[in-house]
Structure 1
Amino acid sequence: MEETNGGFQTLVYEDDLHKEEYPPYHQSNRIQVSMFTMSPGRRHRLAAVCLALLAAVLLILNIGLGIHYNKLTDSHLSLDDTERISKELVDLQDTYKTAVETMKDARKQLDSEMSRQTQTNWELEHQTKRSNDYKSQIEKVTKEIETMKTRLSMLSDGCKHCPAGWILMNSVCYYFPLKSNEFKTWKESRDFCQLQEEIL
């Protein structure tokens, strides 16, 4: 070895020491390097121990991975389960779409029925009003007919109801004097009515 200016030593091959650039090979310049040497039997045993340790580590890793894989397969679904669930999901979506379409059709039918019901209710109210109007008219006409029947009977029997010279109007007998000498005072008229058993 040769020391350089930087304090480092440079390794020199032994054959190069005989060259001119290096001084003669002296015992004082030699540094003894010890190398670790091992017998072949010990090397085989060391390799066997290393391989055994490596095999033990691999075995532990395999066992750990196996346990982890079992946990994964237990906690996760298999491919068949996933396909079955996907099929059920598609079936549920189809059922939902069918239900929505059925509901839309039912709502349309309900709206149509409600529209028809509204029209029917309007017609019923209109007919009821007309019927009530007809009933009122019938009652009015019936009363008028009864009044006319009464008047007709009085007119036909007018002479029997009113004295001669009196006029029957609305079921009441009236006297209208035709001559001025037949006029009477109110007291005289009242006395005359009392004699006839009538009221003035």
Structure 2
Amino acid sequence: MTVDTHSSSNTPHLTLEARALTCIRGERQLFQNLNLTVTAGECLHVRGENGVGKTSLLRLLTGLSKPEVGEVLWNHQSVAKDPSTYHRELLFLGHRDALKEDLTALENLQLYAVLDDIHLPVDKALAALWHFGLRGRESLPVGCLSAGQKRRVLMARMLTRQAKLWILDEPFNTLDIHAVQDLQGLIAEHVEQGGLVVLTSHQAVDLPRVRVLDL
């Protein structure tokens, strides 16, 4: 199984590759001999029914899981050789929100900035939250927010996080139509600026330079 994409970006050296990946969960083989290449200015949409291995593939691409066979490379180097450097270039949003429920939306962004080792002034953090419709809710504990509003906090993190590679697991879940449009616009801007995106979604996506991998 192979998907190859090609970019005319000004930063073609940025490349994510998977070579001959085999993934086994329990006694079940989810996929084998899977190859893909995504370069700067591209988006890969991973599709498939529940249970075929979409989330497992993303975890392999992030380095959170190890393949039974094969390897993942970032800029032609195995991600296992220097995971800290790779993770500085990576933004991974999993299926769960991964927010601290007792902290406010603003405090969550500030905590992520510390963990990501980036400088995030308060005014920029607030601007990102307001950009995604959270004005007036920035000081509320995240536990008081709806599922869609929590996703908007994560969208604000995407806006403020300085990462070239975005790996997103079902990012459109729980979002209303306006938030879906906002998120698609954010992803499109990232791609147009030379970023790389790999995402899973059961929904159709309206994005530039998107290719599809059906598992």
Tell me if TM exceeds 0.5. Answer: no
> Please, what TM-score do these two structures have when normalized by structure 1?
0.17
* Structure with the higher strand share, 1 or 2: 2
**Highest RCO, 1 vs 2 (Cα 8 Å, sep ≥ 6):** 2
